[in-house]
Amino acid sequence: MQAVDSYEVIEEYSEDKYLPSYLIRAEHGGSVFHIHAAADVDGDNVRIVTAYVPNPLEWDSELRTRRILE
């Protein structure tokens, strides 16, 4: 919760299977992490799907954009 000021939506999945969802980038204590959250607008809540430390080999140096892996 202390990272809330740094939340930034970096990917949007509006057509996700059950609910629209978002990939959020956040920082806390010098570390970057990602949160995948689904928005249940009708139920008036947000559901955290997962949170993880992104693999730097799969993301740009700011951990905002996915690298194209071949």
Domain residues of the chain, as ranges? 4-52
CA dihedral 18, 38, 54, 59 (to 10 degrees): 80
Pairing mode, if any, of strands 31-40 and 45-52? antiparallel
pTM: 0.86
For residue 70, the model assigns a pLDDT of 66
| Alpha-carbon gap, residue 48 to 35, rounded angstroms | 7
Q: Which long-range contacts (CB under 8 A, 24 or more apart) does 24-33 make?
A: 25/63, 25/64, 27/3, 28/2, 28/3, 32/63, 33/3
For residue 47, the model assigns a pLDDT of 95
pLDDT, tens digit only, all 70 positions of the chain: 778 888 999 999 999 989 999 999 999 999 999 999 999 989 999 999 999 999 999 999 999 999 987 6
